[in-house]
Amino acid sequence: MRVAAPNASGSVARRGLRLWRRLSKQARLRGHGAAAVGYLVHNAKATVAFGLLLLGSVGASWMPADAVPPGRIDTGDTAWMLTASALVLLMTPGLSFFYGGMVRPKNILSTMLQSFLAMGLVSLLWVVVGFSLAFGESIGGVVGDPRTYFLLRGVGGAPHEALSPTVPLAVFALFQLKFAIITPALVTGSFAERVRFSAYLVFIVAFTLLIYCPLAHSTWHPDGFLRKMGVLDFAGGTVVHMSAGFAALAGALVLGRRTDYLRGQNHQPAHIPYVLLGTGMLWFGWFGFNAGSALAASATAVHAFLTTNTASAAAMLAWLLFDGLRGIKPSAIGACIGAVVGLVAVTPAAGYVTVGGSMLIGVVAAVACNVAVRVKARTGLDDTLDVFPCHGVGGIVGMLLTAVLATRTVNPAGADGLLYGGHALFLTHLVALALVTAFAFGGSYALFRTIATFMRLRVTAEQEALGLDVSQHGETANPVDPDARATTVGNVGLA
């Protein structure tokens, strides 16, 4: 007697019934009957994406390896740069806690995941073509030739005379990768709680290749036009913070305001201890960010380490004291934002200004960004986590004060700022700020608008009310009834 077939048929029927029930509930949630079609379409997209990843991985595995040359590297510099690379990578999980603690409970996981996904997606982009676009053979001083280091061909254990004279080029590529990862992750705070996950992934790819890489090349490549102009950006005031800040402004404008924001509901952070934890991780990782940008275990690295800590400490206290002048109680959120603002502002200046100068940068940045946050709140702009007022304005303040406070006494490879008679540097930075602002904001705005012509950027009102954790990812940070949770699993892509 054959009994397997009926049992198998029953099992298939039960699975089909469960799938139909799930799709039916999604259809009710969305208010139309196309959920099943959306589910199938999403699976097709996921299949294509997975297939491309698999084929790309197989093809890349056939690339010949680069021979490791005999010792021409400085082991001390290499050890420090490997450590700095790890420190900078830690900043992205730190950012996920920083942002995740600030959003509402129903959006914690989606917000944190956006930062984590940048580590995976940008890493592969960097290997395939990103590093070439940022540091490949220069095309007009604006972008690198994508063929130079395609799939990191030629990036191995040998130093590069211009980019990494004492450490393997592979270490330099790894270090720069971490900057590329955190930059689009910073942008996510502006459109938190309303962006579709799939649209965000498309934005990461476009922003990294079309905005970040050209800025990195123009500013840090020896033949980059901003570097040849004489712009001093030690660790990313323009490349990272201004680009992220203006992209955040563009994103907030294009995606529009949250439904609850329009209703005037107060935004209460989900978990302030997460914000404190994230701030600590960011502060710790920022030592690799700034001191590592010396590209050597040198006196310049030590000085950048010191100015980084000093600026952050001064900004944290200045933010709290400035709040106190306005009758606001000292808060954990305020202390954390102040500390991060100081880190942002000192980034372009860390290796060029005195310790006293870094303290002034921290204080000025804290006041400027504090005021910018208050002004933004009155404009109606829904930059959820104040990315532009903190990173955009903080980056601008840092670049301007670098042009004022930089001195060759600290770094002979730099230039004297306005305070030391360097009028040319100040004018150069004014021009650079105008160019970077136009490119970062205009380019990012165009990217958002272009993506919007092919796909929805934001979730529906029902999904926004439900929360992105459930509507986009089928999971939640908080325990819920198992039966209720079961209806949400598998909903990725239906948004």
pLDDT tens figures, 374-395: 999 999 899 999 999 999 999 9
Residue 165 backbone phi and psi in degrees, to 5: -65, -20
pLDDT at 261: 73
Q: Please check the confidence at residue 230 and state whether its pLDDT lies above 80.
A: yes
pLDDT at 267: 76
Which residues is 261 bridged to in the sheet?
A: none
Q: Please check the confidence at residue 251 and state whether its pLDDT lies above 80.
A: yes
Q: Confidence class of residue 191 from pLDDT cuts 50, 70 and 90?
A: very high
Residue 16 backbone phi and psi in degrees, to 5: -65, -40
Query: CA 402, CA 429: separation in Å to the nearest integer?
Result: 9
Residue 166 backbone phi and psi in degrees, to 5: -120, -5
Query: CA 495, CA 26: separation in Å to the nearest integer?
Result: 10
Residue 278's Cβ-side half-sphere holds a number of Cα atoms within 13 Å equal to: 25
The closest alpha carbon to 366, from 438, 433, 310, 302, belongs to 310
Strand (E) or helix (H) holding 2: none
Query: CA 146, CA 154: separation in Å to the nearest integer?
Result: 13
Q: Please check the confidence at residue 158 and state whether its pLDDT lies above 60.
A: yes
pLDDT at 132: 98
195 DSSP assignment:
B
Query: CA 144, CA 223: separation in Å to the nearest integer?
Result: 10
pLDDT at 72: 81
Is residue 105 exposed (0-12), middle (13-18) or buried (19+ Cβ within 10 Å)?
middle
Q: Please check the confidence at residue 17 and state whether its pLDDT lies above 80.
A: no
Is the Cβ–Cβ distance between 66 and 155 less than 8 Å? yes
Q: Please check the confidence at residue 35 and state whether its pLDDT lies above 80.
A: no
Q: And the tokens for 79?
A: 């050890």
Higher-confidence position of 192 and 48? 192
Q: Confidence class of residue 61 from pLDDT cuts 50, 70 and 90?
A: low
Higher-confidence position of 313 and 494? 313
pLDDT at 57: 67
The segment with the largest mean pLDDT, out of 20-29, 66-75, 247-256, is 247-256
Residue 412 backbone phi and psi in degrees, to 5: -60, -20
Query: CA 229, CA 431: separation in Å to the nearest integer?
Result: 10
Q: Confidence class of residue 492 from pLDDT cuts 50, 70 and 90?
A: very low
Query: CA 132, CA 365: separation in Å to the nearest integer?
Result: 34
pLDDT digits (tens, 9 = 90+) for 396-448: 999 999 999 999 999 999 999 999 999 999 999 999 999 999 999 999 999 99
Q: In 406-454, where does DSSP find H-type helix? A: 423-454
85 torsion bin: left (phi>0), alpha (psi -120 to 50), beta (else): alpha
